[in-house]
Amino acid sequence: MKALFLAGGYGTRLRPFTFTKPKPLIDFANEPIILHQIKALHAVGVRTIVLAVNYQPSEMRKFAKEVKKELDIEIKFSLETEPLGTGGPLKLAEEYLKGNEPFFVLNSDVICDFPFADMLEYHKKNKSEGTILATKVEDPSRYGVIVHQENGKIERFVEKPQEFVGDRINAGIYILNPSVLDTIPLRWTSLEREIFPKLAKEEKIYCYHLNGFWMDVGKPGDFILGSTLYLKFISSQIKESKKVKIHGGVLIEGEDIQGAVLVPKEGRKGVQIGENCRIGPNVVIGKNVRIGNGCRLKNCTIMDGVVIGQSSYIENSIIGWGSHIGSWTRIQSHCFLGEDVTVRDECNINSLTVCPHKGVNQNIMKETIML
Ligand code: GDD
Ligand code: MG
């Protein structure tokens, strides 16, 4: 089977991390977001991946080479000379997708316990043109809302509704029959605003409800929430002795660990955690991270190569690759530090976004972006 990834766009909402890497390659739980998706697709027999991109994909090509070494999978690039939205890229890649089998389409920023096998079975049983994975959220206005009948047949699809229409939303994962490609023009077009509403009107599209966690991690705040949900999910699976594949590392235990803490697959050997630390719950620690004595970390992602001095406190924040955090710092309430940021000793920062290669030398207590 085949899958197309909508991997274009500029990822502006995931800045400052997308200044360094394309959004699909940002490490989520120590592994590029789309690698979680690719591995789950591979497990259900997908062997051809089309990456639909609209920028020079040199980083993506490097990534594709590495994936091909690890998995028996073909990766093709479909490069737009100008952005084609979420619909146009499917038409552009038509030659790769057509045939007599349905194919998967994925937004490259969504994380869940991908139910691909069940979704495929449902799609085949319904004999519909398309199946959209659906989930329930508290604030549907940020998503595409699905109004459906009891049997799953979609009656209406409303992207980013201004008024409340329902709380069942598009989770950004689809199975489509090749015939849908005939309804898509070769120009900028939106699947959600143009194609899905039309298919709904023609009663050709169904939704499959996702049980379990889901998050669009395309914004830093949602990325932290998504990491928490993911870590809670894998630790609950482990507790219930269920089989769960953790791709980006292992959960560690110890007197200094509370709840779920993910480190690279080498375990404690892959990171340095000083004495008298308290780490967790819901912490992701990347490769070659060094944490000084007496640090307290919770609900945060510390990316590869970060060094943290002693007695620092980090909560609800993301620390980008190779950053240097001084001693006795306090970093909390959604601080997002890009690659190679330095925070001086004793700095106290709140709700601060810092662009790559910058230094923080003073206390900052209100929401600020440091360019
Ligand atoms: N190739 C290509 N070209 N990809 C694009 C383009 C483009 O011009 N524009 C956006 N994309 C990709 C993004 O990289 C992302 O993977 C996907 O299309 C969706 O774009 P987002 O910008 O992340 O959309 P959203 O999060 O506001 O809304 C979408 O996702 C929600 C679920 O998270 C919609 O599909 C909603 O209906 C849905 O509920
Ligand atoms: Mg998104």
Is the fold of 2-216 the same as that of 234-369? no
What ipTM does the predicted assembly reach? Answer: 0.98
The residue contributing the CA closest to ligand 1 atom 12 is 6
pLDDT in tens, 14-68: 999 999 999 999 999 999 999 999 999 999 999 999 999 987 678 899 999 999 9
- Taking domain 234-369, whether its CATH number is 1.10.760.10 is answered by no
The pLDDT value given to residue 239: 83
> Are 205 and 132 a contacting pair, CB within 8 Å?
yes
Dihedral Cα 20, 22, 27, 28, nearest 10 deg: 130
**Is 219 noted as a catalytic residue in this protein?**
no
Question: Among the atoms of ligand 1, which is closest to the Cα of residue 107?
Answer: 16
Using CA atoms, how far apart are residues 229 and 365, in angstroms rounded to an integer?
27
The residue contributing the CA closest to ligand 1 atom 35 is 172
Best residue for ligand 1 mutational test, from 10, 26, 107, 167 (most atoms within 8 Å of Cβ): 107
The residue contributing the CA closest to ligand 1 atom 19 is 107
Residues with CB under 6 A from ligand 1: 6-9, 23, 52-54, 80, 83-86, 89, 107-110, 143-144, 159, 169-170, 172, 192, 216, 218
Q: Which helix (H) or strand (E) holds 331?
A: strand 330-332
pLDDT in tens, 207-220: 999 999 999 999 99
In the chain, domain spans: 2-216, 234-369
pLDDT in tens, 162-180: 999 999 999 999 999 999 9
Catalytic residue among 62, 68, 136, 160: 160
The first and second tokens of residue 19, run together, are: 């200044």
Confidence tier at 199 by pLDDT (50, 70, 90) = very high
Question: Among the atoms of ligand 1, which is closest to the Cα of residue 11?
Answer: 14
The pLDDT value given to residue 316: 98
Domain 2-216 sits in CATH at: 3.90.550.10
Q: Which helix (H) or strand (E) holds 77?
A: strand 74-79
In terms of Cβ atoms closer than 10 Å to its own Cβ (0-12, 13-18, 19+), residue 156 is middle
pLDDT in tens, 320-362: 999 999 999 999 999 999 999 999 999 999 999 999 999 999 9
Q: What percent of the chain has pLDDT over 70?
A: 100
Reported pTM: 0.94
Q: Which ligand is nearest to the CA of 108?
A: 1
Using CA atoms, how far apart are residues 52 and 164, in angstroms rounded to an integer?
32
pLDDT in tens, 236-281: 888 887 777 788 899 999 999 999 999 999 999 889 999 999 999 9
Using CA atoms, how far apart are residues 253 and 190, in angstroms rounded to an integer?
46
